[in-house]
Structure 1
Amino acid sequence: MAAKSANLYARIEPDVKEQAEEILATLGIPASNAINMFYKQIILNRGLPFEVKIPTARPVDISRMNAETLDMELEKGYADMQAGHTKSATQVFADIRRDYNV
């Protein structure tokens, strides 16, 4: 194993750093180890180890909706269900596994 002697300096948003380090601390992983793992994944994948793209649709954030908008979204979902636009839980989880490589 090579000695760890190279330094990396990066400027990131303080809240992003804090949130990430809280999660890493819960996992028992020092930030330097996480960064080293990230770099190794870049090497193994010959690029970023995740997809970088602008999503085509944004998830609905119900915490920002007023009652009227929430009712409209619920009615759209109910209408989809009535029209047969549904998937089984098995299919939904299969789609998630496929889309997110899990």
Structure 2
Amino acid sequence: MATKTANVTARVQPEIKRQAEEILDRLGVPVSVLIDSLYRQIIMTNSIPYSFRVPAVPTRDAMTTEQFDRMMAEGLKQAKAGQGTDLKDAFAQIRECI
């Protein structure tokens, strides 16, 4: 078995690190094992083992003023009709997707 002596240093946001390490801990996977397996997948596939894509969510910069105004008017209409999501629930859903 090869001796593991190389170090990897990366700077990440503290909250992202905390959340990821919490999940890894529940799974019983040390961070070093995860990084080692990622590196091995990169070597085996000669690529990054997942895709980087720009989401197909419209951004303000890509909209005309008319499109933006329509979107905002629709959102206001939905809010007035009580069709929205509670803020706490919305953030919970966002956290699940991250």
Question: TM-score normalised by the shorter chain: which range applies?
Answer: 0.5 to 0.7
1:25 corresponds to 2:25: yes
Q: CA RMSD in A?
A: 2.5
TM-score scaled by structure 1? 0.56
Cα distance between partner residues in 2 of 1:49 and 1:26: 23
* Shift in CA distance, 69/10, structure 1 to aligned 2, threshold 3 Å: farther
Aligned identity (percent) is 41
Any unmatched runs of 5+ in structure 1? 59-64, 73-102
Q: Cα gap change, 1:71/1:16 in structure 2, threshold over 3 Å: closer, same or farther?
A: same
Give ranges in structure 2 of 5+ residues lacking alignment.
59-75, 85-98
What is the identity, as a one-letter code, of the residue corresponding to 2:79? A
How many residues get paired? Answer: 66
After superposition, what is the alpha-carbon deviation per residue over 1:21-80, rounded to whole angstroms, capped at 9, x for unaligned? 00000000011111111111111121110011102137xxxxxx86347749xxxxxxxx
Structure 1 segments, 4+ long, off by >3 Å, are: 68-72
Aligned to 1:47: 47
TM-score by length of 2: 0.58
CA–CA separation in structure 1 for the residues paired with 2:9 and 2:20: 17
Matches within 5 A, 1:1-102: 1-57=1-57, 67-68=79-80, 71=83
